[in-house]
Structure 1
Amino acid sequence: MRISTEGNQQEIKWALTSQLGDSEIAYHIAKISHSYQRMQEKTTTLNTTLRGLGLKINKSKTKILRLKTNSNRPVTVEDEESEDVDSFTYLENTIKRQGGIEDGV
């Protein structure tokens, strides 16, 4: 998966001393971006890279969590809109739209 983001180091300041960046662990992939355009580009590049490897994005499991944005433009995978959510669980932690994280049990 590194191919899909190589050379595009972009992180988001999460707290005063920490930053979030793209994460690719096993079959979980989290893409982080400052703009709609960049998120759509990352999603398209990832999809193209995976297709070249004989893999595909599971569109029904692809979710979008928007933080501090008024944009509601859909992020798409092969012209199918991804679902917007208020929170989701990633690596046993719940990430919320308000920016908080609840530790998993």
Structure 2
Amino acid sequence: MEVVEPNDGELTADFSRHMIAGYERGRSEAGYNATYFRSMLAEIGPVATAKKLLASPTVSDGFASLWERGRLDLTVEALVLDPRFETLFDLDELNIARRRLEQFDYSA
């Protein structure tokens, strides 16, 4: 099944840059190499990657690894709640992201 990114042009491109930057920062600042996340970005794109992770009933291994490192600021959930990118996601997705972060005592 092919996943098509929303056609929000510059907003989607900006979100993509931030997703890749988050991956790089996780690697350089937190010592976490999210290879599966990186391959998802390449295969289905940044918005679809975020939506897929949010659709999971539990937090991802990457989320857990970043929590262990005290870097929930680098999670997809934190980026999804960035006011610049909220319009790329529906209310349910935003609530899932917020709830997950709150469960781990991180306020976005």
TM-score range normalised by the length of the shorter chain:
0.3 to 0.5
Return the structure number with greater relative CO, CA threshold 8 A, min gap 6. Answer: 2
Point out the structure with the larger helix share. 2
Between structure 1 and structure 2, the one with the greater Rg is: 1
Point out the structure with the larger strand share. 1
What is the TM-score when the length of structure 1 is the normalising length?
0.34
What is the TM-score when the length of structure 2 is the normalising length?
0.33
